[in-house]
Structure 1
Amino acid sequence: MVLAPCGWILELVSTVAPGWRTINNIPGESIDLVLQQGLWDICKTFSSSRDILCNQQDTQYFSAQIIQIARGLMLASLILNVIAFGVASAGVRCWRDTPHWTIAGVGGVLIFISGVLTIIPVAWYTHIMTTIFSTSTDIRVGYCLVLGFIGGCLEVLAGLVMSIGLCRRCDGRRPRGRPATRSATRPTDRPMPLPRVTVPRSYTSESSVPYSQKSLDDDLDFPRAKTRDRGVVNTSYSGRPYDADL
């Protein structure tokens, strides 16, 4: 999302600026004259006075096949990049937690194509730059070719990175960042209640506890102390106490 608009700005400068190539040492002209040629305009600059004269006419240069093709491809790249950036913005949805990976991936593919449409005319023009009509043999690469190549590479890189979301969608894997849905209706942080078990209670006429005295005596592995008479209090008892007495 950052590289795509940066590449678009560099492409725009490369398209409108008259600096695809520079011609020096033109026969019959001043020695300090430098001719800058672009896709839409030609300018004359003088290194001694810093004067710039644009809107120069050169029918043979503008009628070259590479100039016509480069114009169409650069304009198509600029328009497609604007559309692709809008699609990618709708898919990324920075104001939400989960992006729409399919729409973002489609926007990445369009950005990638836009970068390719820029690199093709720039590379082609650089390759045949010396064969285009010129009155001088001192032909040098202009700054627009450098800016166009950098802008196209930024868009290709941005498109590849953004297309990863579309690849993850196609292979069926859940993209990172999407919250997992809970299949259970009961919240996981609430403990499950234990089942209630009804314990049978056996009451006697002398006790209110839910067990009998006989069952308690069977479970003990030590002799139980004899029951003393409640009416007689023996204060001189010094024997070893049993657990039952405690």
Structure 2
Amino acid sequence: MRTPGMLIFGMVLSPCGWVLDLTSTVAPNWREIRNIPGESQDTILQQGIWDICKAFETSQQIQCNQPDQAYFAEQIITVAQGLMVASLLVTLLGLAVATPGVRCWKDRPNFTVAGLGGILIFLSGVMTIIPIAWYTHIMTSIPASSSDIRVGYCIVLGYIGGIMEVLGGAAMVIVMCSCCGGKNRGEKPAKATAKFTHTKTPMPRKIEVPSITRSRSSASSVPYSKDSLDDIDFPRAKTPGNRSTNTSYTGRPYDADL
């Protein structure tokens, strides 16, 4: 039996989501602050959950390790740090559990093991979406040096990665719940194929047909019978007599008679 498509779908989406979550966790761009007082117009302050960097649009220079004690003291930053790291570790654990159950060197995949890995991957996606959604909700209320606050690309990557992990884990859980006796590929379950029912072919029945013999009736609709035909004398045709040949012709012969 080949690997069902739902398991392949989950095993493809999960690593892709993990890469996006890793980028969202490490990169310092959860939000951007522009038009900072006392700074040039091209200065952009990029704030993440681990670091703060100052970027310049004109020179493409980036200065990281910017101090901001008030920002890192926020509760959402501490919660986001813990949940994002936990999400990355749980995703790796889920892939490690699901891989032996999905591998194709066996006759049938181990759907229970693959489903348990899918549950871990699903939970990792939820742990990614929770801090990102919370941060997006209170982003403008976190103290900042300017009122021009914009969403960073880490928020977008985190949302996409978390959704991919949720979908991949859910697909693998669905396979486990359906307990795939071939249902995901339209195949017959193994138990159904093992059953063998012997049907005895019915023997042909002999039907006695009554003999239909009719006695010859004395009364006949024919006005005569076969025996009476011998007594009837039908008139017979007369045989033509011999033609008389006149040999006393003494006429002169013609050319046609020669």
Query: TM-score scaled by structure 2?
Result: 0.67
Taking CA–CA contacts closer than 8 Å with sequence separation of 6 or more, which of the two structures ends up with the larger relative contact order? Answer: 2
| CA distance in 1: counterparts of 2:45 and 2:95, whole angstroms | 36
1:182 is matched with which residue?
A: 194
Give how far 1:91 is off: 1.3
| CA distance in 1: counterparts of 2:29 and 2:105, whole angstroms | 40
Gaps of 5+ in 2: 1-10, 199-258
Give how far 1:16 is off: 0.4
The question of whether the paired residues in 1 share the 8 Å contact of 2:83 and 2:131 is answered with yes
What secondary structure, in the 3-state scheme, does the structure 1 residue paired with 2:101 have? Answer: helix
Matched, 1:160 2:167: no
Residue number among 19, 27, 36 corresponding to 1:17 in the alignment? 27
1:22-65 alpha-carbon deviations (Å, 9 max, x no partner)? 00001111111000000101111011111111111111101100
Give how far 1:97 is off: 3.3
2:247 is matched with which residue?
A: none
The question of whether the paired residues in 2 share the 8 Å contact of 1:42 and 1:57 is answered with yes
The question of whether the paired residues in 2 share the 8 Å contact of 1:165 and 1:175 is answered with no
Give how far 1:164 is off: 1.1
What secondary structure, in the 3-state scheme, does the structure 2 residue paired with 1:2 have? Answer: helix
Task: Specify the code of the residue in structure 2 equivalent to 1:8.
Answer: W
User: Which residues of 2 match residues 30-109 of structure 1 at below 5 A?
Assistant: 30-109=40-119
| CA distance in 2: counterparts of 1:152 and 1:6, whole angstroms | 10
Task: Specify the code of the residue in structure 2 equivalent to 1:7.
Answer: G
Give how far 1:168 is off: 1.6
What secondary structure, in the 3-state scheme, does the structure 2 residue paired with 1:140 have? Answer: strand
| CA distance in 2: counterparts of 1:74 and 1:95, whole angstroms | 34
| CA distance in 1: counterparts of 2:32 and 2:63, whole angstroms | 14
Give how far 1:154 is off: 0.2
- Identical pairs, percent: 59
Give how far 1:179 is off: 4.2
Gaps of 5+ in 1: 189-246
Matched, 1:148 2:192: no
The question of whether the paired residues in 2 share the 8 Å contact of 1:168 and 1:175 is answered with no
Task: Specify the code of the residue in structure 2 equivalent to 1:99.
Answer: P
2:226 is matched with which residue?
A: none
1:63-93 alpha-carbon deviations (Å, 9 max, x no partner)? 1000000000001100000000111111112
Task: Specify the code of the residue in structure 2 equivalent to 1:182.
Answer: A
Query: TM-score scaled by structure 1?
Result: 0.71
What secondary structure, in the 3-state scheme, does the structure 2 residue paired with 1:23 have? Answer: strand
Give how far 1:123 is off: 0.5
What secondary structure, in the 3-state scheme, does the structure 2 residue paired with 1:44 have? Answer: strand
The question of whether the paired residues in 1 share the 8 Å contact of 2:181 and 2:190 is answered with no
| CA distance in 2: counterparts of 1:175 and 1:60, whole angstroms | 57
Q: Kindly name which structure, 1 or 2, has the bigger radius of gyration based on alpha carbons.
A: 2
| CA distance in 1: counterparts of 2:51 and 2:77, whole angstroms | 11
Give the CA RMSD over aligned residues: 1.8
1:172-192 alpha-carbon deviations (Å, 9 max, x no partner)? x734366456356xxx9xxxx
